[in-house]
Amino acid sequence: ANPVANPIISNVYTVVGTDGNSCANTDTVLVTVNPLPIIDAGLDLWLCIGDNVQLNATGGITYLWTPSLGLSDTTIANPIANPNNTTNYIVVSTDGNSCANTDTVLVTVNPLPIITAFSDTSICIGASAQLNAIGGTSYLWTPSLGLSDTTIANPIATPIVTTTYIVNALDGNSCAN
């Protein structure tokens, strides 16, 4: 009386029922097979530790992201992700037919570069000192006053007053420190 139907396409089923008097009657039921929604969690992303990135899923009406760690909201299509470690986020989304499907997006967390600006130095007025930094692929020294080039690892400094120079460097992942 109650078989389980598991069709892969929509199908009409007919049942014939017979009572104790051998009288028979029929009825039909349509089982509609809806396609699964095509859920897209977007391209894999990367960020520098401490930064955040927005996820963006499409293809459904409701969304549920896991794991929840580092997400601003697990029930929206486009939460802000701020994980401390590389994380594979999975989104489950349903469509208007209550059919659900999933997709994943990998958020890679890159460490900050370790930048070293070599030791403090003293010079006489009018003299120069070479500054040196390592750990990055591009550099920006501030303030620029008295520097031969603010965009290299080893500029020549010829300040006219005692000056503290700060170097900001990027690594190959565009992470800055």
In tens, the pLDDT along 111-131 reads 999 999 998 999 999 999 999
Query: Distance of alpha carbon 82 from its chain centroid, rounded?
Result: 8
Task: Identify the CA nearest to 134 among candidates 177, 100, 95.
Answer: 177
Give the pair of three-digit tokens for residue 176: 């800055």
Residue-by-residue DSSP string for 29-51: EEE--PPPP--B--S-EEEETT-
Cα distance between residue 88 and residue 68, in whole Å: 11
Predicted TM-score of the model (pTM): 0.78
**Tokens coding 53:** 């990135």
Q: How many other CB atoms are there within 10 angstroms of residue 92's CB atom?
A: 16
Task: Assign 1 a pLDDT band (cuts: 50, 70, 90).
Answer: confident
